[in-house]
Structure 1
Amino acid sequence: MSARFPAPWWRHIWLAMLFALAAALAGTALAESEPARRWPARELGGAFWVDHTAAATVDQAHRAFATGAGRPVNPNQVMPLGPGTAVWYRLELPRVAEPTRAVLRIAFSGTDSVELFRPDGGGHWRTQRSGDSLPVADWPVRHIDPSFAFDLRPGEDATYLRVRNAQPIRVQWTVQNVTSFIESVKAWHFVLGAYAGFIAMVVLVSLFNAVSWRDPIHLYYAVHVAMVAVSIMALTGLAGEYLWPDQPWWTDKAPVVIPGLSIAWVGLFLRELVAERGRPILSWLLYGHVVTATLMVVAFLVVGRENVYRAPSIFALPGLLVLLGVMVWYSRRQPKVGLWILAGMAFLMAGALAPLVHNLGLVEPSFLTDFGPQLGGAAEVPLLLIGLYFRSRERHASRERLKAMAHTDPLTGLANHRVLQRRLESVLRLARKDPLAGAVLRVHVANLADIRAEFGREAGEAALVRAGECVAKEAREGDLVAREQGDDIVLVLGGHPTQGQAAIGGRNIIARGLKYSGRLPPGVTLKLRVAGFAPPLPESGDPAGLLQTLARLLLDIENDPHGRALRFVGSPDSSPWRSSPWPKHDELPPQSPPTVDELLSLEHSRPKRTSSLH
């Protein structure tokens, strides 16, 4: 039985996947409807001032902007942040006619430090702090991005924002009232929650596939999917909000460490997928990728983001191209599986490359540079799942064929000698308790040597296949047809057949051999000889002895002066000639067995037809 999901299971799984994707699309639609209710950043006036000492106070920043040091804000500008540098923003918030509860959100979850300074009306400043330098649990608003809640009042003075980060980034923000913010948070969390549920389902399906298909590639894939999902959660800030809200150090490092380890794991996953005997270079190439990616992650942790933040990007470009090249090579060798895997990996790598090339200053910031990894990871998961399903199905079919070869004869498709031995042992063991149980017929192709000599080896093999068909048509449920060593076919009858019933079966086998078949050369038929053991079988016998006894009886049949083609051990004249199937023993008339000439005369009276060897 094939080790795969029953059809209803697969139907439920795919319906669940479609529901999750539909939920994600619905959430995206909700999220996209929010900007109409926000005050978007590009509609806000503002200016920025770079503090190269990172030590200026809010009063100093206030004086700097008052003296005209600030420059107009461009939301797409990459700010020159880094160690020892801070950027101050003077925010011109929307004018309101009445006090409004508002939320300011910085649209980058990995910002190290963000501080909001607002006047308190008495000449002082109210300060709120957020960013990866603080635990998410201590942020003013616990959210995926640094956010601040405050009361926006009519005619109030400017608000200042100070941003620090270990590397240059774009600083974008949105301001909206609390109601709009809560609605947008619900929509965004709905999308991420649907995606997380989809990933959890894929991981469970992969674990089930690993067990049912007995293919470890699904374990590698389950780990890969989980790492991609956690990477996306770390990049979006969802992990910092829910998984480690009290670990600011890890919140800051995770968006680089986890994707880096995920890229390293892709090398192990592909190595397990494409590894072949005699191709050690490919395996070592992928192992080298894994080691290099891991070393980059270690260097990032040891040296710090500010010193090596470009190094992972520089490595990732050739590293991802190596992985893509391996997948192209594999898809050419295994297109049915490889093309699905290649498509999924291409989406993932394209999404990962977008922010990398932006970090290297090769492209301008865009939606893809911000959300490329998330989009690529979402598209990759179902494509790889489909490709691995086809791979495991093919491997399972190959294993089944190999397993069948251990029990069947590769030429005739019948049971082999090993299976025959086990069945005969079982029949003889049963015969000791039930003397009337079981019967054995051994069939020999008397003209096989002549066919081989005249028409060649292929014709001889076709003759054996045809002999197997003649015997197999006489088998019933519970019987066994096997090819014995020496090109003989053995039929083991189950149940309680009488000698007369076994003799009828032997006669039918001989008659079928005399019929013309398209498998054989024109004008060639099979001369079959049958030796049988009818109940009671010998109590002290063994399979080898039983088969040898039948082999000796076949030799006697070849030398039979009367030309008999069928004999039973201990009963030389026990082959009845009747056309009715399986008669009762007491209904058999006392007849002499048919000779070969009598059987041939019946066939010669029929018109011959031309046939060819298949």
Structure 2
Amino acid sequence: MLMTKRICLLVFLSILALARVAQAGTVVLEPGRDSYLVHAIVDVLEDPTGRLSFDEVSKEPPVVAFQQYDVGQFSFGFTKSAYWFRFEVLNPSAIPHNMILVLRTAWLDKISIYQPDGSGGYKETRLGDSLPFSERPHPHPQFLVDLEAAPGPQTYYLRISSTQAFLSPIELWDAQAFHDNDRSLLGYFGMFYGVVLVMLLYNAFIWVSTRDRSYLYYCLYLGAFFIMNFSYNGFSFQYLWPDSPRWSNWTYTSWVFLYQLMAIIFAMVFLETSKRLPRMHRLLSVFLYVMSAAWLLSILFASPVFHNATGVYFVFLYSPLTAVAGFLAWRSGFRAARFFVVASMGNLVGAFITAMTVSGFMPYSFASFHAVEFGILADVILLSLALADRIKYLRLQNEAAEKAIIEQKLQSNELLRQAKDDLERIVSERTAELRKARDEAERLSRVDALTGAFNRRYFNEVAALEFAKVRRLHQPLSVISFDIDLFKQINDNYGHAAGDEVIKAAARVSRNAVREIDFVARIGGEEFAILLPGSTIEQAAATAERLRELVIAEQVSYQGKLLAFTASFGVAQLKDSDQSFEALLQRADEMMYRAKNLGRNRVAA
């Protein structure tokens, strides 16, 4: 008898399932199927005021009618409206089925899920990034709720409101299948973030080794992308600030702003737009200021919707701008620009597609939602290929140079065999040329290319010898350290070429103002040092004061303008307690900075 009742129940539920397959808003559970796209069948009700209650939308007939939604998009862009969703789950079997309702978007502010409680009523589960992470039913970056699909049909309701982009793909999963799939997804994220971090550390190491600014800004760009994407996928709220929902809510788009700012700055530095593309440089600079102002204004006036919308919409501008800058630099003959264009294009396209998806202009899919991640991976891979191509190019150049040297030697040997009488003359001339080249190379290795003054390396060598000498002979030794005042303003106002002329003028005046035994060297960008053997601190201070007055009198002619400049001087004399020359130079530097702090254009000893 019991078996007969069960069979009748199964037949009834099967007939009911067949009757509801064509009905909108119904998910029919099927044996062996793991997941269902709820947003493909859901009914939608927009609540512009956000005041409709569950009782009002769930009663028959509802206060406002639900409508079927176009499944192609399932994105509402940026809106202040709340949205209600309704769908039905039909379990045609005779036993309950453990399911998990998944909302894939990690940044939704407020979510209320209403499911039957088994006694004719509904129970509410609240989620959203406006609540602490610890209040979630599942410790997961996305929003998960357990559903027990009882035999027969059951109706579920969701209410969602958010100041972020209203993108809300909804899925229903078999519980075990979801956890299996989630492990694979976490593996993907682990691999992805691992690649980004490895490349960040690798480029940071190169920057430390080379001090090339482009590597520094590329590291900052990768770091900004990492924290943006880490937040974008909900991991920062889970692991970094789980008890700070307000902070998390505001920083989602702040990281998007920061990522775009660093991408533009990296492009400007890498492409050398200030020198090669001055008009594009000005345009990118204006864009940076506008974006920064929009960012700050949206925070100051506490406008979340404006803050979030502008952060995403700026992607549509920065992507084409940087791409155009790359193409223009390439067309101007800058060879490295082709690496930038090829390596960055995938990232730019990925960011553009993701922004289109988040803004509601493209249909949602896993690929479009995560396109920015695929793009940055392409960026990293293509940059690696570009570096490999560069190494190959340099290797081929070296091989060609070696081959040319070998051919030249063979030709020289042939000439020697053909003209033995001229051997001594040729050898003598060649020896003289080599000696001259060696002397010139040695001189160049000691001299700063811009100013003609000695460089820091040779300065350190001479200083070490003088230090040992005066220690042995008990003679005085003084050092003057001076730095051109407000040099950055000169560069900013007149350009780097004008700054170079000022540096050369400072070096020229210094050499003319000291004795032949004194040693003038350029030891930094606009910083010089003068070694004065046999001079006391009083004599050195007098020399520094004379040099300061000569600098004031010096004027640099640049593009029809006369540029005046000043310098700050620090003077120090060797003490018996000094264990190395570096201690003496450090005191002179300290005096120089003291002179700057006292108002610049003065001598401190």
Same fold (TM over 0.5): yes
Q: Secondary structure at the match of 1:297?
A: helix
Q: CA deviation at 1:65?
A: 5.7
Mapping of 1:366-377 within 5 angstroms? 369-377=368-376
Q: Secondary structure at the match of 1:40?
A: strand
Q: Summarize the Cα distance change of 1:228–1:364 in structure 2 as closer, same or farther, 3 Å threshold.
A: same
CA distance in 1, matches of 2:287, 2:240: 29
- Superposed CA deviations along residues 152-175 of structure 1, whole A, max 9, x for unmatched, are 322363121111122663432111
Q: Summarize the Cα distance change of 1:337–1:64 in structure 2 as closer, same or farther, 3 Å threshold.
A: farther
Q: Which residue of 1 aligns with 2:154?
A: 157
Q: Summarize the Cα distance change of 1:236–1:276 in structure 2 as closer, same or farther, 3 Å threshold.
A: closer
Q: Summarize the Cα distance change of 1:200–1:464 in structure 2 as closer, same or farther, 3 Å threshold.
A: farther
Answer yes or no: is the 8 Å Cα contact 1:44–1:92 preserved in 2: no
Q: 1:169 aligns with which of 144, 159, 166?
A: 166
Q: 1:245 aligns with which of 237, 242, 246?
A: 242
Q: CA deviation at 1:261?
A: 0.9
CA distance in 1, matches of 2:198, 2:305: 38
- Superposed CA deviations along residues 463-495 of structure 1, whole A, max 9, x for unmatched, are 9986454689xxxxxxxx6228999xxxxxxxx
Letter in 2 for 1:115: S
Answer yes or no: is the 8 Å Cα contact 2:207–2:215 preserved in 1: yes
Answer yes or no: is the 8 Å Cα contact 1:199–1:229 preserved in 2: yes
* 2:253 matches 1:300: no
Q: 1:48 aligns with which of 44, 47, 52?
A: 44
Q: CA deviation at 1:91?
A: 2.1
Q: Summarize the Cα distance change of 1:268–1:45 in structure 2 as closer, same or farther, 3 Å threshold.
A: closer
Letter in 1 for 2:243: D
* 2:206 matches 1:189: no
Q: Summarize the Cα distance change of 1:392–1:243 in structure 2 as closer, same or farther, 3 Å threshold.
A: farther
Q: Summarize the Cα distance change of 1:380–1:120 in structure 2 as closer, same or farther, 3 Å threshold.
A: same
Answer yes or no: is the 8 Å Cα contact 2:167–2:358 preserved in 1: no
CA distance in 2, matches of 1:396, 1:293: 43
Q: Which residue of 1 aligns with 2:224?
A: 227
Q: Summarize the Cα distance change of 1:464–1:75 in structure 2 as closer, same or farther, 3 Å threshold.
A: farther
Q: Summarize the Cα distance change of 1:275–1:388 in structure 2 as closer, same or farther, 3 Å threshold.
A: farther
Answer yes or no: is the 8 Å Cα contact 1:225–1:381 preserved in 2: no
Q: CA deviation at 1:238?
A: 2.5
Q: CA deviation at 1:251?
A: 2.7
CA distance in 2, matches of 1:225, 1:348: 11
Moved more, 215-224 or 117-126: 117-126
| CA RMSD in angstroms, aligned pairs only | 3.9
Q: Summarize the Cα distance change of 1:127–1:224 in structure 2 as closer, same or farther, 3 Å threshold.
A: same
Mapping of 1:493-572 within 5 angstroms? none
Equivalent pairs, count? 385
Q: Secondary structure at the match of 1:53?
A: coil
Answer yes or no: is the 8 Å Cα contact 1:337–1:387 preserved in 2: no
Identity percentage over the alignment? Answer: 19
Q: Which residue of 1 aligns with 2:330?
A: 331
Answer yes or no: is the 8 Å Cα contact 2:165–2:308 preserved in 1: no
CA distance in 2, matches of 1:298, 1:348: 26
- Superposed CA deviations along residues 383-439 of structure 1, whole A, max 9, x for unmatched, are 2344467779999999xxxxxxxxxxxxx9xxxxxxxxxxxxxxxxxxxxxxxxxxx
Q: CA deviation at 1:205?
A: 0.9
* 2:160 matches 1:207: no
Moved more, 351-360 or 234-243: 351-360
CA distance in 1, matches of 2:332, 2:427: 37
Q: Which residue of 1 aligns with 2:101?
A: 104
Q: CA deviation at 1:363?
A: 4.6
CA distance in 1, matches of 2:138, 2:246: 19
Answer yes or no: is the 8 Å Cα contact 1:88–1:161 preserved in 2: yes
Q: Which residue of 2 aligns with 1:129?
A: 126
Q: Summarize the Cα distance change of 1:162–1:386 in structure 2 as closer, same or farther, 3 Å threshold.
A: same
Answer yes or no: is the 8 Å Cα contact 1:90–1:161 preserved in 2: yes
- Superposed CA deviations along residues 166-192 of structure 1, whole A, max 9, x for unmatched, are 266343211112211111111111000
Q: Secondary structure at the match of 1:143?
A: coil
Answer yes or no: is the 8 Å Cα contact 2:74–2:169 preserved in 1: no
* 2:110 matches 1:113: yes
* 2:56 matches 1:60: yes
Q: Secondary structure at the match of 1:127?
A: strand
Q: Secondary structure at the match of 2:95?
A: coil
Q: Summarize the Cα distance change of 1:373–1:305 in structure 2 as closer, same or farther, 3 Å threshold.
A: farther
Q: Summarize the Cα distance change of 1:374–1:327 in structure 2 as closer, same or farther, 3 Å threshold.
A: same
CA distance in 1, matches of 2:279, 2:47: 52
Runs of 5+ in structure 1 lacking a partner?
1-34, 399-411, 413-450, 452-462, 473-480, 488-614
Mapping of 1:310-349 within 5 angstroms? 310-333=309-332, 336-349=335-348
CA distance in 2, matches of 1:125, 1:87: 19
Q: CA deviation at 1:194?
A: 0.8
Q: Secondary structure at the match of 2:351?
A: helix
Letter in 2 for 1:180: A
Letter in 2 for 1:41: L
CA distance in 2, matches of 1:465, 1:344: 52
Q: Secondary structure at the match of 2:194?
A: helix
Answer yes or no: is the 8 Å Cα contact 1:112–1:131 preserved in 2: yes
Q: Summarize the Cα distance change of 1:115–1:201 in structure 2 as closer, same or farther, 3 Å threshold.
A: same
Q: Which residue of 2 aligns with 1:482?
A: 435
Answer yes or no: is the 8 Å Cα contact 1:261–1:294 preserved in 2: no
Q: CA deviation at 1:246?
A: 2.1
- Superposed CA deviations along residues 441-481 of structure 1, whole A, max 9, x for unmatched, are xxxxxxxxxx9xxxxxxxxxxx9986454689xxxxxxxx6
Q: Summarize the Cα distance change of 1:208–1:67 in structure 2 as closer, same or farther, 3 Å threshold.
A: closer
Q: Secondary structure at the match of 2:125?
A: strand
CA distance in 1, matches of 2:357, 2:274: 40
TM-score using structure 1 length:
0.55
Letter in 1 for 2:139: R
Greater radius of gyration (CA): 1
Q: CA deviation at 1:289?
A: 3.0
Q: CA deviation at 1:79?
A: 5.6
Q: CA deviation at 1:358?
A: 5.0
Q: Summarize the Cα distance change of 1:390–1:102 in structure 2 as closer, same or farther, 3 Å threshold.
A: same
TM-score using structure 2 length:
0.56
Q: Which residue of 1 aligns with 2:597?
A: none
Q: Summarize the Cα distance change of 1:206–1:226 in structure 2 as closer, same or farther, 3 Å threshold.
A: same
Q: CA deviation at 1:122?
A: 3.0
Q: Secondary structure at the match of 1:160?
A: strand
- Superposed CA deviations along residues 28-62 of structure 1, whole A, max 9, x for unmatched, are xxxxxxx9852311597542222233222222211
Q: Secondary structure at the match of 1:166?
A: coil
Q: Which residue of 2 aligns with 1:255?
A: 252
Q: Summarize the Cα distance change of 1:361–1:74 in structure 2 as closer, same or farther, 3 Å threshold.
A: closer
Q: Summarize the Cα distance change of 1:90–1:362 in structure 2 as closer, same or farther, 3 Å threshold.
A: closer
CA distance in 2, matches of 1:296, 1:162: 31
Q: CA deviation at 1:105?
A: 0.4
Q: Secondary structure at the match of 1:482?
A: helix
Q: Secondary structure at the match of 1:93?
A: strand
Answer yes or no: is the 8 Å Cα contact 1:244–1:251 preserved in 2: yes
Answer yes or no: is the 8 Å Cα contact 2:89–2:154 preserved in 1: no
CA distance in 2, matches of 1:162, 1:43: 13
CA distance in 1, matches of 2:171, 2:314: 34
- Superposed CA deviations along residues 332-379 of structure 1, whole A, max 9, x for unmatched, are 345653222112221111112224445666555555542222221221
CA distance in 1, matches of 2:267, 2:209: 21
Determine which structure has the larger helix proportion and give its number. Answer: 2
CA distance in 2, matches of 1:392, 1:292: 39
